Amino acid sequence: MACIPGMGETVMVMKLLKKESENELLVERIMYTKHYRLVLQKNWCIGCEICGIVCPREAIETVKPVKVEGENLNPPSITVDENKCSFCGICTAICPFGAFTLTVNGENVIPVVEKESFPKVIHDITVDETKCPVDCIECQDACPFELIKVSADKTTGTVKVEVDEEHCPGCRLCEVKCPYNAVTVRKIVSGFIKINTDKCPEGCRDCVDVCPIPGVLNVSDDGKVEVDDFCCIYCGVCRIVCPVEEAIQLDRSSVLHTPVRSGAWNKALEKLTSTKGVTKELRSKLTAKVRETVRRRVG
């Protein structure tokens, strides 16, 4: 018999497994009545710190890459401690890239979302296809993750734009590159990033190498790293690999998510952002509640 962390009950664990391949990381807990299966699809994971920050059991660790002389730095990687993981689904709910999948007895579930103790991040991409010319594929070409597919019927002059929203981190590159203002994207994570170039080692471009969004970090003519945060997703990968502490200042201010009223979420949000971030969200909820009360009374 064993007590499962976070489960609140004593159960018999038959098997505890961890398997890793080039494409995925699999963690399983097999019991008499339940089979938990957490899968990390590596092709969607950029090695950011978001899932690790909010994991209540500290079961997720971001592993820094090893630098090879003369080669571009690879992104960090994620590992999961199978002995600590409670299969709560928080990592599945919070990942902007949809890299995690959790199944219980073969069914896709997110326990913390079902229990209304944690929200899911919102992927909000809107495309006005009536504005799209039949020969334009700018948004498709702009997406660094190949999540957009444009198809056109030249006979009818209609265009169809399909977006894999589940894996879209909301970088807004497609919106920026669209010449017809047909695409609107709401950022999942908002925040602030600044490069303290005085602290940057000469010739270092590690942050530029690992940044998943083209154009956010660039090296200027004078060799300094510049930042254009309009398309930044505030994943923190740049800060993870930076060899100098405090050379990169990154602060998250808010997370776009489904409605939730939970102390667990407030704690997670404070870890991701700050006390100010939690206060801002609580004030926003209070304002919305007051407006709804007034609307009901007037109506």
Residue 296 has pLDDT above 70, yes or no: no
pLDDT at 69: 85
Q: For 214-266, how does the pLDDT look when each residue is reduced to its tens digit (9 = 90+)?
A: 999 999 988 899 999 999 999 999 999 999 989 999 999 999 999 998 889 99
Output the pTM of the full model.
0.86
Topology, domain 124-186: Alpha-Beta Plaits (3.30.70)
Other C-beta atoms closer than 10 Å to the C-beta of 97 total 25
Residue 39 contacts residue 24 (beta carbons within 8 Å): yes
Q: How far apart are the first and last CA of the chain?
A: 58
Please tell me the distance from the alpha carbon of residue 106 to that of residue 281, in angstroms, as a whole number.
35
Token readout for 222 is 């004078």
Q: Please, which residues have CB within 8 angstroms of residue 81's CB and are 6 or more apart in sequence?
A: 59, 60, 61
Q: For 160-199, how does the pLDDT look when each residue is reduced to its tens digit (9 = 90+)?
A: 999 999 999 999 999 999 999 999 999 999 999 999 999 9
The amino acid at residue 47 is G
The CATH class of the 2-114 domain is: alpha beta
Domain ranges in the chain are 2-114, 124-186, 259-289
- Whether 2-114 shares its CATH topology with 124-186 is answered yes
Please tell me the distance from the alpha carbon of residue 79 to that of residue 61, in angstroms, as a whole number.
5
Q: Averaged over 203-216, what is the pLDDT?
A: 95
Please tell me the distance from the alpha carbon of residue 267 to that of residue 61, in angstroms, as a whole number.
19
- Cα dihedral across residues 224, 230, 231, 234: positive or negative: positive
Q: For 114-170, how does the pLDDT look when each residue is reduced to its tens digit (9 = 90+)?
A: 999 999 999 999 999 999 999 999 999 999 999 999 999 999 999 999 999 999 999
Q: For 39-94, how does the pLDDT look when each residue is reduced to its tens digit (9 = 90+)?
A: 999 999 999 999 999 999 999 999 999 988 888 999 999 999 999 999 999 999 99
pLDDT at 70: 84
Please tell me the distance from the alpha carbon of residue 25 to that of residue 19, in angstroms, as a whole number.
6
pLDDT at 77: 97
